């Protein structure tokens, strides 16, 4: 066993680096492409649903509002799967300016919680987040359309018909025009007062740890809710995106399978050549009495060593390529086109598969070597 190991290492030392190269390139391509697609997926998901509610709890019937229940909220805060929980009191209203009215949605939030979802600190382009009563912030597009300035007084008409005056303190940009044109964001108390809905909320927005399990988490949450509340999750709202992501994953797997196949063929052929190259040595070892099992082990060990070295080198190269790609292939504003993303499990699995594959593909030459008759070698000199 130990001898087979040593002979395998010696054979490898004296052989060319081409096998390692094949494995290295194969694994690096696999990790590069895989990570790239993963990164793309993560960034796509992050860009589309990263700054929005992933599971929203709303009223089941047409009532729109439900009781601001501390018990329920505390339960949600403690839920391990939820990374953000934010209650809102939303109501549609009209913004009146120079005799023109604009339909808007007034959203009352507690910013401490809401920032975990919307990250207003970063999305704020001007002014400050509303802090005291009757202060609001508007989206960039609406502010530009109406030519408003920080500090302006705005008039809101509520569905009940009352007229409320609020002060513009900030401008946000959530990068979605529809939102930027309609959301008037304020504190929860402001919303309560304007719409006269003290102690009521319209929705609880949350974000989850694993976005792809949002539907499962939603189902679980719903079981703990009273019958007049239901959940809505991003997956049911974004079927198109979801099917796109699934297709992307499938194509990524397909690419990886073909890369793996190429690597496998490469290793098998190089090791098969190695048996031919080393047949004289194997023959003489057999004449000296090495057993078939040990002769086969020589090639299995070669496959194993090639697999380990090649896949680790390949992993390093693949990760390096990824770093280079994410640092040098950038958007005009300098942010990377596909952000660097590394899934350690994926890298580990890739390495493991390459090692197993190269060991398995060494089976063919191993069997070949065990069938080699020493007399062939000695006769043919």
Partner 1 sequence: MDDILKLKGIDKIYGDKVKTQVLFNVDLNFEKSSFNSIIGASGSGKSTLMNIMGTLDKPTNGDVIIGGTNTISLNRDEMAELRNETIGFIFQFHYLLPEFSVLENVLMPYRIKHGRVDKETMERAKYLIDMVELTKVKNNLSTDISGGQQQRAAIARALINNPDIILADEPTGNLDSETTDTVYKLLREINDEFKSTFIVITHDKKVAEKGDRIIEITDGKISTDIRKYVR
In the bound complex, what is the minimum distance in angstroms from residue 296's beta carbon to partner 1? 12
In the bound complex, what is the minimum distance in angstroms from residue 356's beta carbon to partner 1? 27
**Which is nearer to partner 1, 83 or 292 (by Cβ)?**
292
**How does DSSP classify residue 149?**
-
In the bound complex, what is the minimum distance in angstroms from residue 313's beta carbon to partner 1? 23
In the bound complex, what is the minimum distance in angstroms from residue 289's beta carbon to partner 1? 2
**Which is nearer to partner 1, 6 or 144 (by Cβ)?**
6
Distance between alpha carbon 178 and the CA centroid of its chain, in Å? 26
**Which is nearer to partner 1, 334 or 381 (by Cβ)?**
381
For partner 1, the binding residues (CB under 8 A) are 1-3, 7, 10-11, 13-14, 280-281, 284-294, 374-375, 378, 381
**Which is nearer to partner 1, 11 or 183 (by Cβ)?**
11
In the bound complex, what is the minimum distance in angstroms from residue 295's beta carbon to partner 1? 9
**Which is nearer to partner 1, 11 or 341 (by Cβ)?**
11
Residue 268's nearest CA partner among 366, 161, 158, 199 is 366
Residues whose CB is less than 8 angstroms from the CB of residue 306 and which lie 6 or more positions away in sequence, other chains included: 12, 19, 20, 23, 267, 271, 358, 362
Residues whose CB is less than 8 angstroms from the CB of residue 370 and which lie 6 or more positions away in sequence, other chains included: 292, 293, 295, 296
In the bound complex, what is the minimum distance in angstroms from residue 293's beta carbon to partner 1? 8
List, in sequence order, every beta strand (DSSP E) within 188-330: 200-201, 203-208, 229-233
**Which is nearer to partner 1, 2 or 78 (by Cβ)?**
2
End-to-end CA distance of the chain: 28
Distance of CA 288 to CAs 5, 302, 369, 378, Å? 17, 21, 15, 12
């Amino acid at each position: 066993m130990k001898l087979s190991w040593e002979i395998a290492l010696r054979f490898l030392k004296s052989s060319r680096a081409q096998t390692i190269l094949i494995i290295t390139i194969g694994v690096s391509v696999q990790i590069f492409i895989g990570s790239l697609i993963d990164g793309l997926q993560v960034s796509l998901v992050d860009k589309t649903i990263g700054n929005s509610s992933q599971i929203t709890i709303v009223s089941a019937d047409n009532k729109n509002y439900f009781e601001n229940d501390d018990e329920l909220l505390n339960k949600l805060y403690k839920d391990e799967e939820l990374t953000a929980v934010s209650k809102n009191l939303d109501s549609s209203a009209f913004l009146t300016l120079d005799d023109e009215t604009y339909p808007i949605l007034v959203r009352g939030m507690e910013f401490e919680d809401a920032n975990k979802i919307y990250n207003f600190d970063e999305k704020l382009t001007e002014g400050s987040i509303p802090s005291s009563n009757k202060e609001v912030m508007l989206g960039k597009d609406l502010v530009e359309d109406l030519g408003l300035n920080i500090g302006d007084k705005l008039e809101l008409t509520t569905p009940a018909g009352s007229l409320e005056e609020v002060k513009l303190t900030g401008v946000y940009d959530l990068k979605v025009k529809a939102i930027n044109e309609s959301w008037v964001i304020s504190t929860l108390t402001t919303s309560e007062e304007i719409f006269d809905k003290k102690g009521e909320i319209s929705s609880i927005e949350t974000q989850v740890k694993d976005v792809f399990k949002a539907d499962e988490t939603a189902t679980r949450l719903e079981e703990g809710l009273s019958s007049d509340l239901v959940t809505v999750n991003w997956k049911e709202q974004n079927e198109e995106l979801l099917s796109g992501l699934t297709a992307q994953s499938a194509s990524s797997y397909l690419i990886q399978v073909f890369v793996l196949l190429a690597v496998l063929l490469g290793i098998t052929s190089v090791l098969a050549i190695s048996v031919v190259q080393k047949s004289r040595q194997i023959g003489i070892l057999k004449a000296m009495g090495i057993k078939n099992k040990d002769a086969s082990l020589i090639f299995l060990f070669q496959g194993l060593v090639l697999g380990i070295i090649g896949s680790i080198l390949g992993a390093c190269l693949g990760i390096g390529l990824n770093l280079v790609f994410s640092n040098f292939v950038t958007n005009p504003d300098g942010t990377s086109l596909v952000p660097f993303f590394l899934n350690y499990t994926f890298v580990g699995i890739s390495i493991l598969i390459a090692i197993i594959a190269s060991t398995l593909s060494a089976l063919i030459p191993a069997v070949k070597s065990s069938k080699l008759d020493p007399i062939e070698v000695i006769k043919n000199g």
